């Protein structure tokens, strides 16, 4: 597999404190990589190191299979980014702001109209930025990050502070960029619901450590449902199921079946009734991705 971003043992210390600790990040080409973690987990510090804005204490960063330390300028010309709140000239129009950035980046003038079209700001091109809503400002920030037609786009909390309609706009824009241009996108967030609707690959970080990194489908598999049975004499009922080769857990006087296909549930109920146990209730217990995320980050905090 080809990785657009790969870090090895990436570490950043501030005094005695490790903001990022031994981080191994792998972002495959063409993926939307959701970089997820609570506030203060080390996401922005990691992103600043990836963009060459901050030097790692130790560890390595490769982007496009090139060492960032050795080929920083060449790499960064192929990267677009929106980190924290983008800065603008409020008294200038959207077009004029983009023109200022275009001159710095040295891209053709025609690119301004293209990026305004992509972020759906063509109608507001000649309006002063000071009159823009927060969502429009974020879209203008993304337009700036797209000027150099990047292969890798890095967005740090792009929906922070937006109202629901602004969040949907940015989300749709990110999906469109990934599908239409094949761009690789790294998007950080502390909101799992946000990443769940966007990402194809997820990295979860807490206290500077990567505690999960895989496809969103693998994360969703953790959310599979359990079937909980409330029965008479639960301990004997549990032993009876185990004796019949049916996997079950006993917790708080309830039986739970993790292999919860219809056949398995029917099997368990049939055996319990046959062995004389009363079944009071059969319930489906679903674990949400949110529960899994919170459990993962809490467990790591306890270590």
Q: Which residue has the tokens 């510090």?
A: 45
- The region, left, alpha or beta by phi > 0 then psi within -120 to 50, assigned to residue 253 is left
**pLDDT tens for each residue of 26-60:** 999 999 999 998 888 899 999 999 999 999 999 99
* Residue ranges of E strands in 161-302: 184-189, 201-206, 209-215, 226-231, 249-251, 254-257, 279-285
- For residue 228 the two structure tokens come to 């909980």
Q: CB–CB of 256/227 below 8 Å? A: yes
Helical ranges in 119-160 per DSSP H:
134-146
Q: How far apart are CA 20 and CA 96, in angstroms?
A: 38
- The region, left, alpha or beta by phi > 0 then psi within -120 to 50, assigned to residue 52 is left
Q: CB–CB of 213/204 below 8 Å? A: yes
How do the pLDDT tens digits run along the chain, 303 residues long?
A: 899 999 999 999 999 899 999 999 999 999 999 999 888 889 999 999 999 999 999 999 999 999 999 999 999 999 999 987 777 889 999 999 999 999 988 899 999 999 999 999 999 999 999 999 988 999 999 999 999 999 999 999 988 888 888 889 889 989 988 888 889 999 999 888 888 889 999 999 988 999 899 998 888 777 666 788 899 999 999 999 899 888 888 888 888 886 667 888 888 899 999 999 999 999 887 666 777 777 777 766 654
pLDDT of residue 226: 78
Angle between helices 110-118 and 134-146 in degrees, nearest 10: 130
DSSP 47-96: HHHHTTSS--SEEEEEETTEETTTSHHHHHTTEEEE-SSPP--TTSBHHH
For the chain, what is the radius of gyration of the CA atoms?
A: 25
Q: How far apart are CA 180 and CA 166, in angstroms?
A: 21
- For residue 14 the two structure tokens come to 């501030």
Cβ-count burial 40-58 (b if 16+ within 10 Å, e if not): ebbbbbbbbbbbbebebee
């Amino acid at each position: 597999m080809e990785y657009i971003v790969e870090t090895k043992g990436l570490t950043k210390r501030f005094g005695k404190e490790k903001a990022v600790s031994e981080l191994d990040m792998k972002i495959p080409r063409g993926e939307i990589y959701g970089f997820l973690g609570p506030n203060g987990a080390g996401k922005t510090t990691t992103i600043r190191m990836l963009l060459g804005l901050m030097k790692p204490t130790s560890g390595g960063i490769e982007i496009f299979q090139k060492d960032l330390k050795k080929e920083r300028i060449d790499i960064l010309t192929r990267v677009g980014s929106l980190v924290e709140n983008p800065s603008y000239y409020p008294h200038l129009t959207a077009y004029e702001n983009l023109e200022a950035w275009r001159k710095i980046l040295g891209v053709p003038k025609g690119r301004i109209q293209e990026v305004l079209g992509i972020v759906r700001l063509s109608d507001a091109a000649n309006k002063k930025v000071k009159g823009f809503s927060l969502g429009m400002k974020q879209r203008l920030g993304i337009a700036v990050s797209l000027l150099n037609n990047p292969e890798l786009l890095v967005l740090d909390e792009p929906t922070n502070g937006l109202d629901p309609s602004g969040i949907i706009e940015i989300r749709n824009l990110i999906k469109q960029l990934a599908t239409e241009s094949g761009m690789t996108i790294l998007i950080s967030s502390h909101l799992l619901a946000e990443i769940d609707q966007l990402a194809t690959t997820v990295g979860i970080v807490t206290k500077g450590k990567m505690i999960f990194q895989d496809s969103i489908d693998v994360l969703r598999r953790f959310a599979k449902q359990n079937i909980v049975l409330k029965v008479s004499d639960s301990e004997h009922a549990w032993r009876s199921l185990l004796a019949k080769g049916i996997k079950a857990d006993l917790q708080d006087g309830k039986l739970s079946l993790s292999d919860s296909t219809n056949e398995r549930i029917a099997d368990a109920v049939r055996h319990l009734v046959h062995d004389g146990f009363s079944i009071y209730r059969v319930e489906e217990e679903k674990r949400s991705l949110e529960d899994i995320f919170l459990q993962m980050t809490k467990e790591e905090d306890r270590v």
